[in-house]
Structure 1
Amino acid sequence: MDGKGPSQFGLHEARHEVSEPRVEDPSIEIPTRYCEHPPSARSLSAVPVSSCMVFVTRRPPLFLLLAILWTGVGPDLAVGQSPDSTIVELPEVTVEAVRGAETEASAPFAVTVRSRSPAEVSLTSSTSLDDVLRPLPGVWVNDRHHFALGERISVRGVGYRSNFGVRGVQVLYDGIPLTLPDGQAFLDVVDPAVVRQVELVRSPASVFWGNGSGGVLFLSSSGTAPPPNRIRVQGGSYGQWQGLAEGGGTVGPWTVHGYASGQRQEGYRAHSQGYRVRAGGTARRGLGPDTRLRIVAAADQQDTENPSSLTREQFNDDPSQARAAFVDVNAGKQSSQVQLGASIDHDLGGATLSGTAYGLRRALDNPLNFAFVRYTRWSGGTRFTLRRTEGRLQGGLGVDAGIQSDDRIEFTSTTPDGNPGPEVGLDQLETVLNGSAFGYARLNATDRLALTGGLRLDQMRFEADDGLTKDGDQSGTRTFSSVSPSFGLSFDAGPAQVFAQYSTAFETPTASELSNRPGGGGGFNQQVEPQFTRGFEIGARGAFPEARLRFDVALYRLEVDDLISAYEDADGRDVYDNLAANTHDGIEASLTWQATDALEVATRYTGSRFVVDESNDDSLVGNRVPGIPSRRLYLHTEFSHGGWWGRISGQGVPSYYTNNANTAEAPRYVLVNLNLGHRGIDMAGLTLKPFVTVNNVLNERYAGSVVVNAFGGRYYEPAPERSFSAGLNVEW
């Protein structure tokens, strides 16, 4: 074990990754992967290994190739460990993605906290959130490989319907909610190249965050240690390039961190050229011995083309082509978003009082083949919590309030040069108001057993003020309310942590979904209703210290009533309705072997069975929920040797349905990616960190994303063929 005892895997000694110490000899290895810090465990008997094997045998030749890649790197890298390795011990990690007194070790629900190592942040391309989230179990990311629509993120099947933005999953960036009061989030401001820590709550979590909380994704750009000052440039296939500047330090009483980046691509597909610029930062200071202030800002601007989706015949014939109807009107997106937030924490001695206020402005011009959509959005909110973090009884109380105002106008046509046509089809002001209160308690009944419970009350009002009254005033309102309870327990079984939970989530239609009425016109769709989810799960997190193995496994069932489903009409407009009732059953398993300080092998398995139980259309009963594969296997090996760092990763996905009728499928695929870089070459007082990336090594033809229930069978959004990129970090 090279001088590290079993306690490094222990339940009460969670660890974070920290910045690499500056060393004269770059061959000295610094361990970089003690970042998921689960508790230990005696047995893995709860993991149904046979279910994983069923998936592996679906495509033997390609998985055999992956096995050869994985086993072939081991012997030469075992010598890469160093007696000078350094482990820094930090306190248990509080899960910021929830608003109770929970740590990753003690939480009674499925949660993953992943700290990206300095090597991973600097030596991987990280141009998409898929690069950051792919190693996590339970989450499914569709990468469209163009900027117009962003990544589609689903947790345990929640959010699958989203053909743009994120639905049903609460997302926070540096502590500021990106999810709006109506339950929709746009992640344009998130720069994956600076994301250093990810927290993913895979369970329904409306007790903490209210509307649209089928899961919680918490992203942080600052991590657990000050990032280095650096300039980074990279370029690659299909005209892709990126430039990034990042730095921080102390300015008077403030500790600051900031970044700015630009990204441009020609694109693998026709009509997918685009650029985006981003900037963000945080500033922290103490206002006294017990009070801390943090200010967070982020901004994004982009201009991009949209190639849309293809039929299966077009996908098979030439996946690089664009949909002709989108090319004819120069379809795309020009958008900007600016947000600002401030939070303050005051230590009361065993309790913490916290307050946050935030606001954002977003503007969008969206030329499409059936309309030209333009809106200006203002949104903001406040939240206050009082948390007790010591003693036998812990927990918290809180209140939230939010407002969203969308000034939306839609022109009935788009000109060939991408400008709005002469006729206005919709002109309305859409307002969303939300108010809520919640409480969450944790009773440490014994030294080993903890019981938790929570309750949240939400009240929401959607209002449409129709400004186009030539066809009559179609102004209207929709009002929704919800009660969201949760109950759970966790048991410390010595070197194992076992948990069970019942939790709930509710999700209203978003403002844009309500305004997309069948047949068009102003006002709101009065037919689509909120969906409600009841979640049941059991699981365990643990480790075998002697074998240097860590694991995390969870079994769950989600019962979803009035599932919101999307379909395209003949013009290409998304329209929404409810599918009655679904059941989502699944397993999530994670196993990590830290073979040496210089070699890590990890696998993640996600298996699911999402079924339509009830529907107004009897032909759909028993069908699988589209857009989500039934299995996903992820593998990676990370290694260090002589100053070099590398990762070989692979993901296997079977075919999966793309429509409610289950008559079309996206093809199965195996995706292999390679990353290689140097931890640091000292030169003239600077540290140079070069890196190269090869994506889709096997040159698979696959759909990086699908448009669920697209009209005319246009389900497929192809991903690039084999591609290359190279870059350089200059740090000081």
Structure 2
Amino acid sequence: MTPHLRFHPVLAAVLGAFAATHAGAADLVLDQVVVTGSRAEQRSFDLPAAIDVLGRERLDADQPRVNASEALASVPGITALNRQNYAQDLQLSSRGFGARSAFGVRGIRLVADGIPASMPDGQGQAATFNLDRAERIEVLRGPLSAVYGNHAGGVIQLFTEEGHGRPVVEGNFSAGSDATWKADLAARGEIGGVGYVLDTSRFATDGYRQHSRAEREQSQVKLTFKPSEDGKLNLLASTFRQSAQDPLGQTWSGFRADPRSVAQAALDYNTRKEIEQSQGGLTYEHRFGEHRVQVSAYIGQRSTTQYQSIPKSAQTNPRHSGGVIDFDRDYGGASARWIGRFDLAGGRLTTTLGADYETARDDRRGYENYVGNTLGVLGALRRNEADTVTSFDQYAQAEWARGDWQVNAGLRRSHVAFKVDDRYLKNGNDGGRVEYDKTTPTVGALYRLSPAVNVYASAARGFEAPTFGELFYSGPGGSFSYALKPAQSTHLETGLKAYLGADIRLDLALFQIDTRDELVVDSSSGGRTSYRNAGRTQRQGLEAALDSRWGAGFSSRLAYTYLDARYDQAFTTSGGSVVDAGKRLPGIAAQQLYADLVWRHAASGFYAGVEGLARSNMQVEDSNTQRPAPGYAIANLRVGVERSYGPLSIRTYARINNLFDRQYVGSVVVGDGNARYYEAAPGRNWLAGVALRYAF
């Protein structure tokens, strides 16, 4: 049965405004050059894949630039949910992949300035993206993303600006509801042929829900050298520190009684998380006529301490590893690729050969989260081990274009190895090793029906290994699992890209994804989640985006997603219950619609925009018997003024989110064993700020 989506009247009014407005200008870019996908510069219009580019104007849309969900909400196929819980990061999924993640980003490859923000096991942290200096974000979905390795849903790649020209100093301060504020200071320019970008920021909030206070500090340095006419070297260094309380999920009755409330366990155990990360890397590119070589290398260190709400009584089991997670991670990697262009058979051939090596080692400890009758404190040691994961992948891609035809093909060989060295032997030895190997091919073709219309089709095999987080508690008695299998998927996609006149672009994609050995939540309680392999699943869907430049300074975007994601085969859980074929995958909205309309008055610098977002309901667990998170529709309003006074530019802005104060569940905790599935989103909330820019 096709799910139904009820639209809010304000959203209908926004759509009506699109139809009523006509022809003209704005600063909306309808076609950008991208590198995600083919790994070589190419117009997004000519790539046989679903890809969207979020430029600076959308990333800067009067947001605090704290969460990637601020901009990703406008991308079809992507579900970006702000959980109002900085201890668990965003709930980010692509075509349904990643929706099961208990924390962090799963099923999507994250990359920032050519350096992975995903670990070798596939777990990523979108929180480390520096949105203040972001120049653009490229979002690739579908089969072509298979050549990026161990994931299934797509690739999100962030590119920050480079320093050049005269020095520029920028400052931004914003404040809003729930004692939220952020300050950012940056400088960029070029001295002696060396470009530089310096940025530092601090963010703090009391949080919408009880026990959800968070603080974050982030800094970045980017230096750009040109050692020769044909070479460019980027050096990057960054730090990230975050302290956040964890409000956990809430029951339906608790949410209805008070959306800001938390379960008593969050208060009793003072659930919280501390993260510190530092990273350095380099990327180098050298051109040899029509060919180029690109290399990168990076190292980093991450320390995490998390206090969970696992009951004291549950930790009496000698196999239990305690309610406090404490680890220090050292990670690094290197990659190299060669890109060549040739004339072949009357056409143009672009080839890419490359290899990626990544490694991460955790010194991981577990402690009881109590001492005597005092809860939420560091107790006795229950776990001590060294966990290592490495990946080594090789890939080849080719693109041949002749006349109105373009053909793409790729092949990637992936090897992922996990090793556990158990140093706490009082409860037995969980040490061991497990490895996964997979070859993933992809093929696509694009045909130009006319200069304004392209049609394409593509297919691929996908590969998604379990992460360390999924392996840790999924074995017998909550031990490490050496039996979890990687999920393997077959992706099919066909699409159309068209210009409807000079100022309107339409992107349309239809897809089907069949997966076997889908990784699903087996149990989740107290912040700890275990996983198992289910049977087959199927995802079918449609994605559409319409970008328009209208007259008199108006521009708009419309993005729609339909996704029918279901179990295609029944399976039995570890608790003995049967999940029937045809049940919907949890954490996935069947329909999603985003729309905005922006007006700019060039003479005065004034602008205003209205945004609408609607989602259908989301199931919260596999059997679909618990109450789903209801669908909702909200509207946002933003206004601002941007003026220049010689070398000084000033922008003041304000926005109201959830304009009509709708109460809704913004995200869900999939499969929570205590039925605390629901994470409330804020009611009406506001943000105001000022941005200053001085060019010397």
Q: What's the CA shift for 1:78?
A: 8.0
Q: Are 1:207 and 1:484, in contact at CA under 8 Å, matched by a contact in 2?
A: yes
Q: Are 1:372 and 1:414, in contact at CA under 8 Å, matched by a contact in 2?
A: no
Q: What's the CA shift for 1:692?
A: 0.4
- 2:506 paired with 1:544: no
Q: What's the CA shift for 1:126?
A: 3.0
- Alignment-mate amino acid for residue 590 of structure 1: A
Q: How many percent identity over aligned positions?
A: 26
Aligned to 2:470: 513
* Correspondences of 1:553-592 after superposition (within 5 Å): 553-592=508-547
- Alignment-mate amino acid for residue 269 of structure 1: R
Q: Are 2:143 and 2:442, in contact at CA under 8 Å, matched by a contact in 1?
A: no
Q: What's the CA shift for 1:469?
A: 0.9
Q: What's the CA shift for 1:171?
A: 0.5
Q: What's the CA shift for 1:356?
A: 0.7
Match of 1:172 among 111, 116, 119: 111
1:147-205 CA deviation, whole Å, 9 max, x = no partner? 11110110001111111001110001122110111111012222334333111111145
Q: Are 2:54 and 2:71, in contact at CA under 8 Å, matched by a contact in 1?
A: no
Match of 2:568 among 613, 616, 628: 613
Aligned to 2:337: 385
Aligned to 2:396: 439
- Alignment-mate amino acid for residue 387 of structure 2: E
Q: What's the CA shift for 1:620?
A: 2.5
- 2:384 paired with 1:427: yes
Q: 1:213 to 1:460 in 2, by over 3 A?
A: same
Q: Are 2:518 and 2:534, in contact at CA under 8 Å, matched by a contact in 1?
A: yes
Q: Are 2:212 and 2:245, in contact at CA under 8 Å, matched by a contact in 1?
A: yes
- 2 CA distance for matches of 1:434 and 1:98? 22
1:644-690 CA deviation, whole Å, 9 max, x = no partner? 122210011111211100112001111211111112253x8532211
- Alignment-mate amino acid for residue 403 of structure 2: D
Q: What's the CA shift for 1:518?
A: 4.7
Aligned to 2:129: 190
Match of 1:626 among 586, 591, 595: 586
Secondary structure of 1:297's match? strand
Match of 1:482 among 428, 438, 442: 438
Q: 1:451 to 1:669 in 2, by over 3 A?
A: same
Match of 1:128 among 61, 64, 67: 67
Aligned to 2:199: 259
TM-score by length of 2: 0.91
Secondary structure of 2:427's match? coil
- Alignment-mate amino acid for residue 452 of structure 1: N
Secondary structure of 1:208's match? helix
Aligned to 2:249: 309
Aligned to 2:96: 157
Q: Are 2:541 and 2:564, in contact at CA under 8 Å, matched by a contact in 1?
A: yes
Aligned to 2:643: 680
- 2 CA distance for matches of 1:695 and 1:624? 30
Match of 2:12 among 67, 72, 86: 67
Secondary structure of 1:537's match? strand
TM-score by length of 1: 0.86
Q: 1:706 to 1:228 in 2, by over 3 A?
A: farther
Secondary structure of 1:588's match? strand
Q: What's the CA shift for 1:120?
A: 5.7
Q: 1:177 to 1:379 in 2, by over 3 A?
A: same
Q: What's the CA shift for 1:731?
A: 1.2
- 2 CA distance for matches of 1:433 and 1:532? 20
Q: What's the CA shift for 1:306?
A: 0.7
Q: 1:86 to 1:228 in 2, by over 3 A?
A: farther
Secondary structure of 2:178's match? helix
- 2 CA distance for matches of 1:193 and 1:281? 12
- Alignment-mate amino acid for residue 402 of structure 1: E
- 2 CA distance for matches of 1:281 and 1:193? 12
1:40-82 CA deviation, whole Å, 9 max, x = no partner? xxxxxxxxxxx9xx85xx435x2x333335656998x989x78
- 1 CA distance for matches of 2:49 and 2:29? 27
- Alignment-mate amino acid for residue 648 of structure 1: V
Q: Are 1:124 and 1:675, in contact at CA under 8 Å, matched by a contact in 2?
A: no
Q: What's the CA shift for 1:619?
A: 3.4
- 1 CA distance for matches of 2:644 and 2:16? 29
Aligned to 2:36: 96
Q: Are 1:98 and 1:208, in contact at CA under 8 Å, matched by a contact in 2?
A: no
Q: What's the CA shift for 1:269?
A: 0.7
Aligned to 2:488: 532
Q: Are 1:125 and 1:693, in contact at CA under 8 Å, matched by a contact in 2?
A: no
1:694-719 CA deviation, whole Å, 9 max, x = no partner? 01112111112100111121100111
Q: What's the CA shift for 1:476?
A: 0.7
- 2:326 paired with 1:374: yes
Aligned to 1:40: none
Greater share of strand: 2
Q: Are 1:275 and 1:304, in contact at CA under 8 Å, matched by a contact in 2?
A: yes
Q: What's the CA shift for 1:471?
A: 2.4
* Correspondences of 1:686-705 after superposition (within 5 Å): 686-705=648-667
Secondary structure of 1:657's match? coil
- 2:598 paired with 1:638: yes
1:509-529 CA deviation, whole Å, 9 max, x = no partner? 11122112356565x302321
Aligned to 1:7: none
- Alignment-mate amino acid for residue 137 of structure 1: P
Secondary structure of 1:188's match? helix
Match of 1:716 among 678, 686, 694: 678
Aligned to 2:454: 497
- Alignment-mate amino acid for residue 419 of structure 1: V
Aligned to 2:315: none
- Alignment-mate amino acid for residue 345 of structure 1: E
Q: Are 2:606 and 2:642, in contact at CA under 8 Å, matched by a contact in 1?
A: yes
Q: 1:206 to 1:541 in 2, by over 3 A?
A: closer
Structure 2 spans left out of the alignment, 5+ residues: 311-322, 573-577
User: How large is the Cα RMSD of the aligned pairs?
Assistant: 2.5
Q: 1:549 to 1:87 in 2, by over 3 A?
A: closer
Match of 1:276 among 213, 216, 236: 216
Q: What's the CA shift for 1:207?
A: 4.3
Aligned to 1:454: 410
Q: 1:354 to 1:264 in 2, by over 3 A?
A: same
1:215-238 CA deviation, whole Å, 9 max, x = no partner? 000112328998953111111110
- 2 CA distance for matches of 1:373 and 1:396? 41
Secondary structure of 1:666's match? coil
Match of 1:594 among 529, 539, 549: 549
1:547-598 CA deviation, whole Å, 9 max, x = no partner? x321000000011111111243455520010111100000000112211261
Secondary structure of 2:147's match? helix
Aligned to 2:612: 650
Q: What's the CA shift for 1:621?
A: 1.2
Q: Are 1:307 and 1:326, in contact at CA under 8 Å, matched by a contact in 2?
A: yes
Match of 2:178 among 235, 238, 242: 238
Q: What's the CA shift for 1:88?
A: 10
- 2 CA distance for matches of 1:142 and 1:538? 27
Aligned to 1:44: none
- 1 CA distance for matches of 2:690 and 2:14? 26
Aligned to 1:39: none
* Correspondences of 1:6-17 after superposition (within 5 Å): none
Q: 1:657 to 1:339 in 2, by over 3 A?
A: same
Q: Are 1:206 and 1:506, in contact at CA under 8 Å, matched by a contact in 2?
A: no
Secondary structure of 1:184's match? coil
Q: Are 2:96 and 2:153, in contact at CA under 8 Å, matched by a contact in 1?
A: no
Aligned length: 665
1:397-444 CA deviation, whole Å, 9 max, x = no partner? 11111111011111133455743212x222111111211211111122
1:323-374 CA deviation, whole Å, 9 max, x = no partner? 2101111111111111111011111111111111012211001011120000
